[in-house]
Amino acid sequence: MAEYKAPVRDMQFVLYEMLDFESHYAALPGGEDFSRDVVEAIMEENAKFCENVLAPLNAIGDEEGCQWNEGVVTTPTGFKEAYTQYVDAGWPSMCHSPEYGGQGLPESLGTVLSEMAGSANWSWCMYPGLTHGAMKTLELHGTEDQKQVYLTKLVEGSWTGTMCLTEPHCGTDLGMLRTRAEPNEDGSYKISGTKIFISAGEHDLTENIVHIVLARLPDAPEGTKGISLFIVPKFLPNAEGSIGERNAVNCGSIEHKMGIHGNATAVLNFDSAKGFLIGPPNKGLNCMFTFMNNARLGTACQGLAHAEVGYQLSSRYAKERLQMRSLSGPKNPEGPADPIIVHPDVRRMLLTQRAFAEGGRMLIYYAAQQVDIQHYAEKGSEADTNADELLALLTPIAKAFLTETGFESSNLGMQCFGGHGYIREWGAEQNVRDCRISMLYEGTTGIQALDLLGRKVLLTQGETLKRFTKVIHKFCEAHKDQEEYKEFIDVLANYNKEWGELTMHIGLTAMENPEEVGAAAVDYLMYSGYVTLAYLWARAAIVAMQASGDESFYQAKIHTARFYFQRLLPRTATHVATIKSGANNLMAMDDSLF
C-alpha cells in the first residue's frame, strides 16, 4: 500500500523559482550542459526509476532483510537487479569528473537525485550513497594511481565504497581507536583490527568493495593526532584493474536492527589485510572529514526523505479515511462520516510534516548550491570562503535538525493512521523505524550540537554565524518596507537579532562555567534550525506571492509558510528559556543519585 511519488513540482520550485539554479548552473564551468531542460529531463527519468523500481522493493527489503552465512551477505530480493539497472543507466557516474569516467554534472544535481532514491528506498540507497563519499575522499586526497585503480571503478558503479571508523570500544571518540597499520616492504600496510556498524560493509551487489579505513601507524601520537587513512579493498586489484586475490578482511556478522533492514550493517574484521595510505601519515581524520561531511549532508537528506514519505502516506489516507463529523457541520453529508482531513488536529499533523519536508528540501538544496560553489570556485577566493563557511555552519544544523524533525514527522505520519499506522501493510511504521537511526549515525544530535556551538560559532567568536545572519539581515532589509510581506519579514528580523543575542549570552556564561556550552548545545542547534528554516520559508512565501499561474500550488506554499511561522517557529521560546536556565539544573545532582 505504501507508494512513493517524487515531488518533482516542489523540487522545481525550490531549484528554479526560489534558489535560481538556472543562473547558478549557467555560471559554472560547462554551464551550457546544465540547462533547465536537461536537468528536468534527468529528474523525470530518475523519478521513474525511483517510483517504479526502488519503491516497490522497500517493504520487501524490510521484511526479508539481509542474510549472513559464513561471511557472505545476500541482499533482499530485487536489490541486486535494481543496482544493475542503476549502473546500466549511468546513474553512479552522473556527478563525477569526466577524467575518471564521470559525466561532469554538478554535485547539487546528485543531491536532488539522492533525495528521490532515499525517499523511495533508504536501505537500498545506502549502498551507492556511501560510495559517493568514498569517491570524494579519493578525488581530494588520493594519489593519481589510486584514482586510476579505485576511483574509476567506483564512478563506474562496478565497485562500491564504505567508511570504516567505529570500533567496539569507541563510537564518536575516534581518538581511542586501536586498529593498527604496520608498514610492508612494498609500501603498503598490514591493517589489523575490528570495525563495527559499517553500513553496506558486505553485500552481493558488486564484485568488489573499497573500504576507507582509519588506523594507527606504529609510531603514531596518541589521540586523534595519530590517525591515518587507508584504502583496504575486499579484493586486491590486479595490474590491469580487474579483481585479484581476496584480501584479509571478512564480515564477522551483520547487526539485527530496529530499521533499515535491507542494508547490511556489518562487523568487519581486518586480519593483516593489505591497505594503502591515503593522504599524509597521521592526518587521516582531516582527510576523513571529507567523507564525514558528505555523509552528514546525506543523512540530513534522510530526515527530509522520511518527512516526505510520512506526509505522502498520511495525506492520502486522511483524504480517504472516514471518521466522525466536522465540529462545524458535515463535510461529507452523503457518507456515514467525514474524511479525517477535516479535523483540526489531523491538519496540524499533516501541515507539520509538510512544513518540515518542504522546508528541509529548501535547506538541503541551498547547502548543495554552496557545495557547487565550493567545488568550482578558485581556492581562497571570496566565493570559496563564503561557501565554505556557510557549509561549516549549515552542515551540523541540517544533519541534526532535519533528522530530529524528520523523525517527528514520520511519527506524526503514523499517528494520522490511528491503529492502522501500527500495522506493517501501510508502510508508516517502517518509515518510523527506518528514520530512527538518522539521529544516531554520522554523529548524534548532541555531537552535531557541540560541533555547531563549540567549534563553528564560539571558537570563531561568532564570525561563522555572522556570515549567515548577514544574509538574513540583507534579505529582511530588502523587503522591510513592503507591507504585504511584513507577517514574515518583521518576525524573521526579530529572530535574527535574537540569534546573535542568544549566542552572546551563552558565550559570556561559558566564560564562567564551560559546562554551559554542553548544557545549551542541543537547544541552541534546534533554535538555529527553526530560524534557518524561517528564513527559507520567508523566501518561499514571497516567491509564491509574486508568482502567477498554478494558483493552487502557490496558495498551498503561502498557507504552509504561515503555518510554519505561527505554529512551529514559536517553539524557539522554549529553547531560549531552557538555555537561559543554565547548566546547574543538569550538573548539580551527584552522579551517585542517578
* pLDDT at residue 310, rounded to an integer: 98
Asked whether 146 and 33 are in contact (CB, 8 A), the reply is no
Greatest CA separation for the chain: 84
Distance CA(191)–CA(218), nearest Å, equals 11
Catalytic residue IDs: 442
Nearest to 456 by CA among 514, 534, 375, 517: 517
Phi, psi angle pair for 177, to nearest 5°: -65, 150
Which value, in Å, is the radius of gyration of the alpha carbons in the chain? Answer: 24
DSSP of 414-475, one letter per residue?
A: HHHTGGGGGSGGGSHHHHHHHHHGGGTTTS-HHHHHHIIIIIIIITTTTHHHHHHHHHHHHH
* DSSP single-letter state for residue 223: G
- Grid cell, residue 490, equals 518583521
Q: b/e per residue, 6-25, with b = 16+ CB within 10 A?
A: bbeebbbbbbbbbbebbebb
Q: What is the pLDDT of residue 171?
A: 74
Please tell me the predicted confidence (pLDDT) of residue 170: 85
Nearest to 540 by CA among 370, 382, 354: 354
**Quick one: pLDDT at residue 287?**
84
- Rounded Cα–Cα distance for residues 134 and 147 (Å): 11
- What is the pTM (predicted TM-score) of this model? 0.97
Q: What is the pLDDT of residue 241?
A: 80
Q: Can you give the pLDDT at residue 1?
A: 57
Q: Report the b/e string of 545-574 with b at 16+ CB within 10 A.
A: beeeeeeeebeebbebbbbbbeebbeebee
| Spans of all domains in the chain | 444-587
Distances (CA, A) of 127 to 155, 295, 305: 13, 12, 16
Question: Residue 292: its pLDDT value, please?
Answer: 76
> DSSP per residue over 241-281, as a string?
SSEEEEPSEEEEEE---SS-TTS-EEEEEEEEEEEEEESST
Q: What is the pLDDT along the chain (594 residues), one digit of tens a residue?
A: 579 999 999 999 999 999 999 999 999 998 888 999 999 999 999 999 999 999 999 999 999 999 999 999 999 999 999 999 999 999 999 999 999 999 999 999 999 999 999 999 999 999 999 999 899 999 999 999 999 999 999 999 999 999 999 999 887 777 789 999 999 999 999 999 999 999 999 999 999 999 999 999 999 999 889 999 999 999 999 988 889 999 999 999 999 999 999 999 999 999 999 999 999 999 988 887 776 777 899 999 999 999 999 999 999 999 999 999 999 999 999 999 999 999 999 999 999 999 999 999 999 999 999 999 999 999 999 999 999 999 999 999 999 999 999 999 999 999 999 999 999 999 999 999 999 999 999 899 999 999 999 999 999 999 999 999 999 999 999 999 999 999 999 999 999 999 999 999 999 999 999 999 999 999 999 999 999 999 999 999 999 999 999 999 999 999 999 999 999 999 999 999 999 999 999 999 999 999
